[in-house]
Amino acid sequence: MSEVSTATAGRTLSVRGLGKSYGTGADENWIIRNLDLEVPPGEFVSIVGPSGVGKTTLLRSLSGLVPPTEGGVFIDGDELRAPHPEIGVVFQDYSRSLLPWMTTVENVAFPLQGKGVGKAERLGIAERNLAAVGLGGKGNLYAWEMSGGMQQRVAIARALAYDSKILLMDEPFASVDAQTRLDLEDLVVDLHTNLGVTIILVTHDIDEAVYLADRVVVIAERPAHVVDEIHTGFGSHRDQVETRSDPRFAEARGRILTLLRSGVAAITQSVAQP
């Protein structure tokens, strides 16, 4: 068990011909189809797409929480058929993911019980990961005593404490104020750089996607599939002013916005058809 280092013993996540539908026969509705994606160890990938395109469905398929209808998700070549012990998930609704009767350190330590980690060791691991997200010394607080930004840091610490090699994040900063959002973005950049963990982020925020990621994957149309991939080229360094002023940032943002507007039109047309 690592302390705060999921460092680069990485895993390659591969998505091959992924499709997900609901309903059967004439009522079958394909949300995603023929989607291919490969994420090597240590990469930061943002996934963006129009509202309602199936981004969260895709993330749940990547986590093993939702089985695909066709195709599959693979970790180092092994098909994912259930939640994987090295995949952590940070959900948008962090307030519901934290158990209100447990302290912060107990919340972070709780999933380690399933791995058979002794109480003293799991509390130590939890404290170290809380320190890694800037909450050292806050382990005795309860969720209701913390701000939204602090609660989301706890959720991230819990995923890291579980020794996740791949971290999936579903709109993790959507419910916090603008300044807290910027702070959490920089926290995730630092964790990615320092720990070498693979991160796949689903977001509707184009600026956030470009700022954080090594590569932005755009999914669109109906059923959803990958329509473009943009390599940002920023390296490991990010600065909220400098990076967003970089001409490459504006170029990537414009390219993605054009694709998303086309994707919205395609989804609207598809929904309108009888």
The alpha-helical segments, DSSP class H, found in 38-103 are 55-63, 94-97
Task: Classify strands 87-90 and 166-170 as parallel, antiparallel or unpaired.
Answer: parallel
pLDDT tens digits in sequence order for the chain, 274 residues long: 344 444 445 789 999 999 999 988 888 899 999 999 999 999 999 999 998 899 989 999 999 999 999 999 999 999 999 988 889 888 877 667 789 999 999 999 998 888 888 899 999 999 999 998 999 999 999 988 999 889 989 989 998 888 888 999 998 888 788 888 999 999 999 989 888 899 999 998 999 999 999 999 999 988 999 999 999 999 888 999 999 999 999 999 999 999 988 755 444 445 445 4
Contact 154, 140 (CB under 8 A): no
pLDDT for 97 equals 79
pLDDT for 9 equals 56
Cα–Cα distance between 99 and 91 in angstroms, integer?
14
13-86+165-272 has which CATH code? Answer: 3.40.50.300
pLDDT for 96 equals 73
Contact 193, 42 (CB under 8 A): no
Cα–Cα distance between 188 and 186 in angstroms, integer?
5
Residues of the chain with CATH 3.40.50.300: 13-86+165-272
Cα–Cα distance between 260 and 163 in angstroms, integer?
35
